[in-house]
Amino acid sequence: MSKTAIQSSRKTIEQHLLEMQAKHDDLPQDIANILYDISLATKMIRNSVIVAGFQGDSTSDQVNVHGESVKKLDIFANNCLIDILSAHGRFSYIGSEEEDDIITINSSNDPSYAIFFDPLDGSSNIDVNVSVGTIFSIYQSDSSLGDINLQPGSKQVAAGYVIYGSSVMLVYTTGHGVFGFTYDPNIGEFLLSHDHIRIPDSPKYYSVNESLYPHFSPNVQAAIDSFKLSQTESLSSRYVGSLVADFHRNLLKGGVFAYPALPTHPQGKLRLMYEANPLAFICEQAGGSASNGSEPILSILPANVHDKTPLFIGNTPLVNRFK
């Protein structure tokens, strides 16, 4: 049975990235620098998240491109990431869930990169102190694709997320395994805590909004029924409603997260570029898989930066039941 190794070392993310570069010739210095910049931005976001309860009304008067009310912390997290990531000329394209269009930057870096992120996933849960997170996805820019630079998830060179919960963790992959770092506020650093994360072979949970069960397709209903009625499996239902929190639990404990298509949302509700692709890359690197119900998430060619998709992600045998 595969288990995540819990490390007691005090290795910082910077030290870890230097070691990874020494081991892997295809991990350029730029990617290490980008990951370090992201860790810096998320430290700043973390400082705002932990005092959110003192800030009064969390809503702003803005609505994003998806028609959702934008929280004040959404705006702060979005601006923080854009400011830090655009400062060093490594990116030609920056795409955010909170921005209508891709931000194009005149980069002299060779190669240059494109990044897509959800600055604060699950932000509707801030007021009730449920875990939220930042999700990101990095590609090498391809000038032949024009100003939107959309590529399938299989072309990602790095992806990760930061979860702001009882502790703050950064989890990432560059295609050489999955690594987790826990933030130590005493020294202000992310320290390696989960080395070579592998999703456990024996899953524990399924995560789906079962209040929508009557609206699911018959094959999705059958998959959920199989989890509940199995005589050989012992799966418990756990659903937070914050994607990064549900995914993180299932990554460490084993399980499947499902957000199927609905009659009101036939293309699904989760964002391909900002949420599904980066988590799918991480999940596959950890030994799991991700699908939209008919094809692997990482094989989908996006038509628009805000494309949405159904998502089934986690242990492969459980994901396959939704096909």
Model confidence pLDDT, tens digit, residues 120-134: 998 888 888 889 999
Top-confidence residue, 109 or 215 = 215
Give the orientation angle of helix 72-85 with respect to helix 29-49, to 10 degrees.
150
Q: 311 and 183 share a domain? A: no
Residue with tokens 């081991």: 23
Does the pLDDT at position 16 exceed 50?
A: yes
Taking residues 298-308, report their average pLDDT. Answer: 96
Mean of pLDDT values over 158-176: 97
> Is the predicted pLDDT of residue 51 greater than 70, yes or no?
yes
Q: Are 36 and 64 in contact (CB under 8 A)?
A: no
Helix (H, G, I), strand (E, B) or coil at 227: helix
The average pLDDT across 82-96 equals: 93
pLDDT, position 263: 96
pLDDT tier for residue 176 given thresholds of 50, 70 and 90: very high
Instruction: Say yes or no to pLDDT of 54 above 80.
Output: no
pLDDT at 7 over 70: no
Mean pLDDT confidence for 131-138 = 96
Is 189 contained in some domain?
yes
- Token pair of 71 as six digits: 């929280």
Token pair of 26 as six digits: 């295809």
pLDDT of residue 69: 59
Percent of the chain with pLDDT over 90: 74
Mean pLDDT of the chain: 90
CA-CA-CA-CA dihedral for 235, 238, 243, 244, to nearest 10: -80
High-pLDDT (> 70) share of the chain, %: 90
CATH of the domain at 24: 3.30.540.10
Q: How many domains does the chain have?
A: 2
How many other CB atoms are there within 10 angstroms of residue 307's CB atom? 17
- Higher pLDDT pick, 57 / 201: 201
121 beta partners:
133
Rounded CA separation 213/80 (Å): 38
Q: Which domain holds residue 42?
A: 7-195
Domain for residue 1, yes or no? Answer: no
CA dihedral 61, 263, 303, 279 (to 10 degrees): 80
The answer on pLDDT for 33 being more than 90 is yes
Does position 163 have pLDDT exceeding 60, yes or no?
A: yes
Domain at 316, CATH number: 3.40.190.80
User: Confidence class of residue 67 from pLDDT cuts 50, 70 and 90?
Assistant: low
| 141 and 224 share one domain | no
**Alpha-carbon distances, residue 313 vs 36, 108, 271, 279, 286 (angstroms):** 27, 37, 14, 8, 12
Evaluate whether residue 49 is within a structural domain: yes
Distance CA 92, CA 182 (A): 30
